[in-house]
Amino acid sequence: MPAPDSVQPVLSDDDLALIVEALDSHEYWQLSDPTWRHSGAVILPSDDPMRWADRPDPTGDERQAIAEIERCRSLAERLRAGRS
């Protein structure tokens, strides 16, 4: 049974693919710092620790952005899993 605050809209696979693509774009253009971007992807400390080795530890704002990016990625994975 779904949680009381959840919704279950009827979406086609094409709808889900579009939403996943939009989440990826949101992660890249709105949430990430430009220095985190590489070849069309956002590289977080957990993605490639070596790329972050020479950088200072993330600031509070950066940690918040990282958490939001991880939230987008988690939602995208759940949506991909829901596709038929």
pLDDT for 26 equals 96
pLDDT for 67 equals 97
Domain chopping of the chain, boundaries: 13-82
Profile the chain (84 residues) by mean pLDDT over runs of 10 residues.
78 93 96 91 93 92 96 95 76
β-sheet bridge partners, residue 42 = 37
pLDDT for 84 equals 58
pLDDT for 40 equals 87
Integer angstrom CA distances of residue 62 from 46, 47, 67: 13, 15, 9
pLDDT for 1 equals 60
pLDDT for 2 equals 65
